[in-house]
């Protein structure tokens, strides 16, 4: 019963090919196949590049989905996270949450392929949205329909990323508030968090839960909501010191390259790595939804995840006369190089 509403919404979302977003031109829309006339092979070029290269480095899928998420949470899905800082001003990519993003060069290479075919036509924002979808599909994850027609933003500010990207230390109330501020809801919070099934994290992003949760310090000061055996194993074999900021840990141990339900199973066993992961099961409705999906066929998770990814890709998009179509994803068009 708890899953009836999300599943109904999946069916509705799958049937929608044109999405009105109220951009810079009256009635302007995102729509599937936006480039059918202006650059007919655009989506095929993105897909071909992803299919060629992601199998050689499957972890790229995780960094692309994280990049897409971080982009959409700051100024909307406008590829502002891809911009370099200029004139001494730092950009979103210089903010702490984005320092470990590794997908910039990958997107730049796809952009160069598309630019050779159709100069100045396809936005970096659309390329990021399409490449993310295709990469997840390549590693065996769900496929969702991506409406296109996004324009690229011209502004990228470090502080905005610090203020708006959800932090791994957030409690449930703050997480839900953060998502709701972007037009997303409880279901989106639950299912978009499922991307952590292919995620990795640096020790310093959760070491407080292992060593200094109350401020007293030491291995005895662990977060009581974290499974004690799991915490001890992390201290012993992964994050041996509170100061470790280089070691990486799988967020879904044993299957972090597989898009599956392992992350949610871990949450129900109190083995979520981030405080924000653990927060999901502090809410009765969220925990019930997670338990329902875990006991269902994997296709159910794929459906609800796909719905929320399609919705994420609509957050704050620029269309019509807003923004621009960048020639190079790291630079606005009036920056010469």
Query: Do residues 125 and 74 make contact, with C-beta atoms less than 8 angstroms apart?
Result: no
Look at residue 211 in the predicted model and tell me its pLDDT. Answer: 95
The predicted model scores a pTM of 0.91
pLDDT band at 10 (very low <50, low <70, confident <90, very high): very low
Residue 328, classed as helix, strand or coil, is strand
Structure confidence by residue, pLDDT tens digits, 126-141: 999 999 999 999 999 9
Say how many C-beta atoms besides its own lie within 10 A of residue 191's C-beta: 25
Residues linked to residue 331 through DSSP beta bridges, in sequence order = 328
Structure confidence by residue, pLDDT tens digits, 176-208: 999 999 999 999 999 999 999 999 999 999 999
pLDDT at residue 18 tops 90: no
Distance in angstroms (rounded) separating the CA atoms of residues 122 and 301? 31
List, by residue number, the catalytic residues. 70
Look at residue 247 in the predicted model and tell me its pLDDT. Answer: 95
Residue 213, classed as helix, strand or coil, is coil
Look at residue 28 in the predicted model and tell me its pLDDT. Answer: 54
pLDDT at residue 218 tops 90: no
Percent of the chain predicted with pLDDT > 90? 86
pLDDT at residue 13 tops 80: no
Distance in angstroms (rounded) separating the CA atoms of residues 83 and 154? 8
Distance in angstroms (rounded) separating the CA atoms of residues 103 and 28? 30
DSSP states along 22-64: --SSTT-EEETTTTTTT-TTHHHHHHHHHHHHGGGSTTHHHHH
Mean pLDDT, all residues of the chain? 91
pLDDT at residue 27 tops 80: no
DSSP states along 76-130: SSSSGGGPPPBTTB--GGGSGGGTT---HHHHHHHHHHHHHHSTTTS-HHHHHHH
pLDDT at residue 334 tops 60: yes
For residue 148, report the phi and psi dihedrals to the nearest 5 degrees: -125, 175
Structure confidence by residue, pLDDT tens digits, 261-291: 999 999 999 999 999 999 999 999 999 999 9
Q: List Cβ neighbours of 257 (8 Å cut-off, separation of 6 or more).
A: 58, 59, 139, 198
Distance in angstroms (rounded) separating the CA atoms of residues 302 and 141? 7
Structure confidence by residue, pLDDT tens digits, 50-80: 999 999 999 999 999 999 999 999 999 999 9
Distance in angstroms (rounded) separating the CA atoms of residues 264 and 294? 7
């Amino acid at each position: 019963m708890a899953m009836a509403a999300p599943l109904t919404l999946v069916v509705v979302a799958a049937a929608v090919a044109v999405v009105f977003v109220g951009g810079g031109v009256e009635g302007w829309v995102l729509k599937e196949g936006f480039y059918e006339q202006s650059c007919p092979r655009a989506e095929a070029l993105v897909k071909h590049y992803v299919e060629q290269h992601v199998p050689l480095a499957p972890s790229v899928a995780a960094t692309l989905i994280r990049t897409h998420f971080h982009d959409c949470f700051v100024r909307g899905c406008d590829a502002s996270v891809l911009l370099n800082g200029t004139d001494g001003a730092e950009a979103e990519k210089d903010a702490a949450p984005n320092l470990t993003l590794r997908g910039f060069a990958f997107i730049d290479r796809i952009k160069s392929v598309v630019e050779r075919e159709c100069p100045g036509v396809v936005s970096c924002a659309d390329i990021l949205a399409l490449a993310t979808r295709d990469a997840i599909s390549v590693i065996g994850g769900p496929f969702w329909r991506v409406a296109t027609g996004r324009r690229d933003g011209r502004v990228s500010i470090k502080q905005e990323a610090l203020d708006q990207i959800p932090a791994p230390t957030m409690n449930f109330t703050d997480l839900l508030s953060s998502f709701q501020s972007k037009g997303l809801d409880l279901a989106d919070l639950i299912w978009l968090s499922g991307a952590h099934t292919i995620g990795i994290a640096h020790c310093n992003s959760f070491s407080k839960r292992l060593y200094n949760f109350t401020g007293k310090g030491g291995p005895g000061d662990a977060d009581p909501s974290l499974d004690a055996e799991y915490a001890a194993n992390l201290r012993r074999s992964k994050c041996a010191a509170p100061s470790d900021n280089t070691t990486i840990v799988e967020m879904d141990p044993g299957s972090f390259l597989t898009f599956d339900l392992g992350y949610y199973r871990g949450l129900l066993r109190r083995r979520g790595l981030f405080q924000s992961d653990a927060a999901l099961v502090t809410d009765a409705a969220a925990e019930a939804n997670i338990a329902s999906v875990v006991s269902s066929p994997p296709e159910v998770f794929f459906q609800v995840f796909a719905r929320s990814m399609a919705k994420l890709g609509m957050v704050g998009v620029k269309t019509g006369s807003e923004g621009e179509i960048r020639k190079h994803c790291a630079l606005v068009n009036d920056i010469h190089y």
